[in-house]
Structure 1
Amino acid sequence: MGQLLEVCKNCDKTYYSKYRFCPHCGQQTKDKLTVGVLFANTIKNYFSVDARFFKSFFPLLFKPGFLARKFVEGKRLLFLHPAQMYLFITVVFFFLFSFVQKKQADNLNKELAKTIKNRNDEALPINVKDSLLIEKSKIEDSLALAQVKTALTKTRRYTNLSEAEIDSITNVSQQRKGDFSFDEQKIDSLIVADASDEDIYKAMGMDNDSNWFAKRMYRQILKFYKSRQGGSVLEAFYDTIPIAMFFLLPIFALILKLLYYKKGVFANHLVFCFYFFAYLFTVFSFLIAINYLISIPAKFNFLIALSTFIYFIIALKNFYKQGWFISFFKGGITSFVFLLIVAPFTASILGFIAFFFY
């Protein structure tokens, strides 16, 4: 009888050798680890498309709020898990969007190339010697201002000048410090003269005592100025969006929690958001695919995008069980806060990160 028993490699409990799956933990008993099994399990666990997906997909599109309501009520095996559905659909969306992303990056690079060509055709002759003389005069001016400030400080009691007034007189050269602006013609002359990056940084306005942030910004600005590859920044911006969604989706759920604070715990609102954003990415995936095959009018795209707001209102009504007016009112507030405050603020941060690290 002992020969008929085996020990599970996963839970270390015994089972009859004729079993294909361990009755204690469910692991397959004769499953040898291969590359195929490794990837098959990964796809099955995270991107599985089984009967539950098809049972969930059509209600997701045509029954707003239905899936979220059923999941919260306890029907969690009949339909696809909200996080799993969201993850699967977003992978499809960003795969399709990668084609749009590449096209937009190429178009941006072409437009920048045209702008640079027109500017170079109209540019004045570059005089490297003049640029170097300008830098020399700036250094001399800085030394002169320092001497003036020292003299004024020593005679403060006779001139009745405060420290702020002395700074305003002598620190004229610092008024533009921090805006990262520079003379493009002068920088062009230094680039043509094959000057070192350190010399160009100084010509752009970077001081030796500049902090790490300022030095990094000057490096990125010069890198962009030399390459004129705006598409790289745009691609870096788009690449940060999937990561940002892991923060934006809970923020969206938090807004709903504040508006529906008596309608369950935060997890309930998060379930609603998973399904709703899965719907949004499904709609936008269809739009990308259709526009890639045949170009449709912009008005049609706008109407489809507008229909997602109507879907949102219906989903709120069905999920939270409140009237049409309350659902429309709270849906409008949620959309306003998210689209006009949270999304622009996030986009500015992502744009900065994309430029700072591209």
Structure 2
Amino acid sequence: MSKENLRKDTTCLNCNHEVNQRFCPNCSQENTETSKSFHHLFLQFFEVFTHYDNAFWRTIFYLFFKPSALTTAYVSGKRLSFLPPIRLYIFISFVTFLSISLFPVDSARKIETKKDKIRIPSIDSLKIKEKSVDGLTKVGILSQKHNDTIKKILKKTDEIDVNEVADFGYKSVKELDLIQKNGAEKIKITSTEYWFLKKWLTIQEENTNEEIIQKFSESFTNNLPKLLFIYMPIFGLILWFFHNKKKWLYFDNGIFTLHYFSFLLLLILLLFFINKLFLLFDSTPILKWVHFSIKTVGTFWMIYYFFPAHYRFYGEKMIVSVLKSSLILILNLVIITILMILFALYTYINIH
């Protein structure tokens, strides 16, 4: 970034000290003009995070291709050559989730629309399916009992068991309440099922399937950074628990965690853009294979990365490091799975 023009007045605006050079000898504030253009503010925003010099690109290179090298350098005191861990995480997190939020999930909507069309078949298509079922019965492949059951499902008549919650079996909240209040015990559902179904039917009454998916996706995406930020201390605590408390302070494990999570977000961002790039081209067997290969390599690198990073940073024997890394990943996977389920439930509850 080019240097800005100095003020003609040599009195520091911050501490009123005499300034003979570019920076105040008393408080170190730069004695430049206070009026800034939007262009300057835009560049300054990225400069705050990246320094606009080799430190940013060196940090990204080390983070992506040299597991734990960045953490080792920072903990050992070599800090001016790289971005600070917190600043790095905030910047990558900001860019990742901003990019994801700017692009609509078109593919998911198309799939959902296609499912809607299949879910509501035409009368002609039902007749064809019923004839096919009758044909199987005539040749003895399908019994008459199963024949009748399949036809009921195809027609979606009231004779279908209301406990078949895959199709939910209810047309509205009113119908659900009537069955739950006046129906026989065998067709009533538990209080937990009732709560979920009532919530779902309420959402369906006010939104189309497309809108539900969009709202869930937006809510999930917008709140995911909060979940990751909250989970980082837990990840660091697990690392601290598995290692020598005297040699490795929680601070050291925290720096390792910040760098590892920054790597995960950076790889997610890269795979996201690659996926969007492939969507611009017509789908062919070769492109599908290339796309699948890239996603496979990316997923493998995401999991494998932790093992060399752990081994190089903590300096333990290979077998011990692999064992600890495996246990740490499994434990975190269990905890993350539980948190993601709770988070998905929270998102579901807050859809309106």
Q: What is the TM-score when the length of structure 1 is the normalising length?
A: 0.66
Q: Which amino acid aligns with 2:191?
A: K
Partner of residue 355 from structure 1, selected from 340, 348, 351: 348
Task: Describe the shift of the 1:124–1:271 C-alpha distance in structure 2 as closer, same or farther (beyond 3 A).
Answer: closer
State the partner residue of 2:284.
none
State the partner residue of 1:176.
190
State the partner residue of 1:151.
none
Alignment of 1:178-327 (within 5 A): 178-180=192-194, 219-220=202-203, 222-224=205-207, 229-262=212-245, 263-294=247-278, 295=287, 296-327=290-321
Inter-partner Cα distance in structure 1 for 2:48 and 2:219? 29
Inter-partner Cα distance in structure 1 for 2:210 and 2:56? 46
State the partner residue of 1:22.
24
How far does residue 75 in structure 1 lie from its aligned partner after superposition? 1.2
How far does residue 112 in structure 1 lie from its aligned partner after superposition? 4.8
- Alignment deviations for residues 283-325 of structure 1 (CA, whole Å, 9 cap, x no partner): 3333333333344243542233223333211111111111111
Please state if 1:332 is matched with 2:337. no
C-alpha RMSD of matched pairs (Å): 3.8
Task: Describe the shift of the 1:320–1:181 C-alpha distance in structure 2 as closer, same or farther (beyond 3 A).
Answer: closer
Larger radius of gyration between Structure 1 and Structure 2:
1
SS of the residue aligned with 2:18? strand
Structure 1, unpaired ranges of 5+: 143-170, 183-203, 206-215
Task: Describe the shift of the 1:329–1:181 C-alpha distance in structure 2 as closer, same or farther (beyond 3 A).
Answer: same
State the partner residue of 2:140.
none
SS of the residue aligned with 2:305? helix
Task: Describe the shift of the 1:113–1:124 C-alpha distance in structure 2 as closer, same or farther (beyond 3 A).
Answer: closer
Q: Which amino acid aligns with 1:34?
A: K
Inter-partner Cα distance in structure 1 for 2:117 and 2:305? 43
Structure 2, unpaired ranges of 5+: 1-7, 127-153, 159-170, 279-286
How far does residue 51 in structure 1 lie from its aligned partner after superposition? 1.5
Asked whether the 8 Å contact 2:101–2:218 carries over to 1, the reply is no
How far does residue 125 in structure 1 lie from its aligned partner after superposition? 9.0
Task: Describe the shift of the 1:349–1:50 C-alpha distance in structure 2 as closer, same or farther (beyond 3 A).
Answer: farther
Q: Which amino acid aligns with 2:277?
A: L
How far does residue 326 in structure 1 lie from its aligned partner after superposition? 1.4
SS of the residue aligned with 2:55? helix
Partner of residue 62 from structure 1, selected from 46, 61, 65: 65
Q: Which amino acid aligns with 1:331?
A: S
Q: Specify which structure has the higher proportion of helix.
A: 1
How far does residue 231 in structure 1 lie from its aligned partner after superposition? 2.7
Asked whether the 8 Å contact 1:65–1:315 carries over to 2, the reply is yes
Inter-partner Cα distance in structure 1 for 2:45 and 2:81? 21
> Between the two proteins, what is the percent identity of the paired residues?
22
Task: Describe the shift of the 1:230–1:55 C-alpha distance in structure 2 as closer, same or farther (beyond 3 A).
Answer: closer
State the partner residue of 1:201.
none
Task: Describe the shift of the 1:258–1:101 C-alpha distance in structure 2 as closer, same or farther (beyond 3 A).
Answer: farther
How far does residue 14 in structure 1 lie from its aligned partner after superposition? 0.8
Inter-partner Cα distance in structure 2 for 1:13 and 1:265? 43
Q: Which amino acid aligns with 1:24?
A: N
- Alignment deviations for residues 135-161 of structure 1 (CA, whole Å, 9 cap, x no partner): 8x969x87xxxxxxxxxxxxxxxxxxx
Inter-partner Cα distance in structure 1 for 2:294 and 2:338? 28
Task: Describe the shift of the 1:218–1:273 C-alpha distance in structure 2 as closer, same or farther (beyond 3 A).
Answer: same
Larger RCO of the pair (alpha carbons < 8 Å, separation 6+): 1
SS of the residue aligned with 1:180? helix
Inter-partner Cα distance in structure 1 for 2:111 and 2:13? 56
Inter-partner Cα distance in structure 2 for 1:55 and 1:265? 26
State the partner residue of 2:109.
106
Inter-partner Cα distance in structure 1 for 2:119 and 2:94? 37
Asked whether the 8 Å contact 1:257–1:266 carries over to 2, the reply is yes
How far does residue 108 in structure 1 lie from its aligned partner after superposition? 4.8
Q: Which amino acid aligns with 2:49?
A: Y
Task: Describe the shift of the 1:100–1:5 C-alpha distance in structure 2 as closer, same or farther (beyond 3 A).
Answer: closer
Inter-partner Cα distance in structure 2 for 1:119 and 1:27? 74
- Alignment deviations for residues 164-209 of structure 1 (CA, whole Å, 9 cap, x no partner): xxxxxxx999963342369xxxxxxxxxxxxxxxxxxxxx87xxxx
Task: Describe the shift of the 1:243–1:108 C-alpha distance in structure 2 as closer, same or farther (beyond 3 A).
Answer: farther
Asked whether the 8 Å contact 2:10–2:31 carries over to 1, the reply is no
Count how many residue pairs are aligned between Structure 1 and Structure 2: 288
Task: Describe the shift of the 1:84–1:104 C-alpha distance in structure 2 as closer, same or farther (beyond 3 A).
Answer: farther
Q: Which amino acid aligns with 2:249?
A: V
Q: Which amino acid aligns with 1:76?
A: R
Q: Which amino acid aligns with 1:357?
A: N
Q: Which amino acid aligns with 1:317?
A: Y
